[in-house]
């Protein structure tokens, strides 16, 4: 058999077939906790990574490891510094999820704005007329503030403006007016949070963004404003967010992410009428899974064939 590729989560078969067709041995593990990965990774040359975390200790057990290929855009679940020190490539798929997550965020805005989930649940409980006292809102003419104007944020702006007639404010730490479309207005941090009827988060999680959106931001937001988080749970101060929702400082939350995943069964979000919480499923469509799989498999093949990857997240020189 050829070099081994460890896959510690379900993936699209198209990518697996690609690797097998190129002579690689694919190794699946049912449990993706650290100890299980340490046991499985020993003679593997590559890891095709989804949600599980890859620590320095796991890499220490993998002397043959050449690449950790993330099948999504984020890579906060990899110790990139350790990988770089060990000469291991870390790659991501920066554009694989762009359209899917932008669609998902747009759907989340509509769902929380129209009270879709709440009213559906109340109807199932026998209260068909709960809708009479819990009206939704139209999104046309409302302001969407996008925090982090990268690939997903930019596409969300396009869909929201042209599809729903929304006004768009964009914030990015290095964003300039010249980089924006004519229907998008550049906003500073405070204006984006204080003027948005919907505030959608699209920044990566790192040491600078952890708990970046907290008590101060929630106090600035309109009491009717809805927060949309399809980024990472830890970019918000979750405790402060729960407090803001309970006190009515903000109008609602649509979140696909949690600080701790999977969340505990008694997480406060699950018991709030003004919250829709999804299980980190923004990229979980058939089409997106195939795109992600083919990108990850392609990067693995490139590196294990002696080439440089297309989408490295650091500048390691191959061992």
Q: Which residues are catalytic?
A: 232, 261, 280
Q: How far is CA 142 from CA 42, 194, 196, in A?
A: 54, 13, 8
φ, ψ for residue 310, nearest 5 deg? -80, -30
Check the CA dihedral 77-78-81-82 and report its sign: positive
């Amino acid at each position: 058999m050829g070099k081994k590729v460890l896959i510690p989560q379900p993936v699209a078969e198209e990518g697996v077939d690609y690797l097998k067709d190129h002579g690689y041995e694919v190794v699946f593990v049912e449990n993706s906790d650290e100890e299980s990965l340490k046991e499985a990774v020993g003679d593997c040359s590559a890891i095709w990574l989804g949600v599980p975390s890859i620590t320095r200790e796991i890499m220490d057990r993998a002397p043959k490891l050449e690449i950790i290929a993330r099948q999504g855009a984020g890579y906060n679940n990899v110790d990139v510094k350790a990988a770089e020190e060990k000469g291991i490539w870390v790659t991501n798929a920066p554009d694989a999820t762009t359209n899917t997550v932008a669609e998902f965020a747009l759907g989340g805005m509509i769902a929380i704005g129209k009270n879709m989930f709440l009213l559906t649940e109340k109807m199932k409980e026998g209260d068909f007329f709960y809708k009479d006292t819990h009206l939704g809102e139209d999104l046309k003419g409302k302001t969407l503030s996008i925090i982090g104007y990268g690939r997903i944020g930019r596409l969300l702006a396009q869909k929201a403006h042209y599809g729903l007639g929304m006004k768009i404010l964009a914030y990015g730490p290095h964003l300039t007016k010249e980089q924006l479309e004519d229907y998008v207005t550049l906003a500073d941090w405070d204006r984006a949070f204080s003027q948005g009827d919907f505030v959608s988060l699209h920044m990566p999680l790192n040491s600078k963004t952890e708990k970046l959106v907290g008590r101060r931001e929630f106090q600035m937001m309109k009491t009717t404003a809805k927060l949309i988080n399809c980024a990472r749970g830890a970019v918000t101060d979750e405790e402060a967010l729960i407090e803001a929702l309970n006190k009515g400082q903000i109008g609602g939350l649509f979140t696909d992410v949690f600080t701790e995943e999977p969340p505990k069964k008694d997480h406060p979000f699950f018991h709030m009428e003004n919250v829709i919480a999804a299980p980190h499923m923004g990229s979980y469509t058939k089409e997106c899974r195939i795109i992600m799989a083919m990108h990850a498999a392609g990067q693995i093949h490139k590196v294990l064939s002696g080439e440089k990857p297309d989408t490295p997240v650091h500048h390691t020189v191959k061992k």
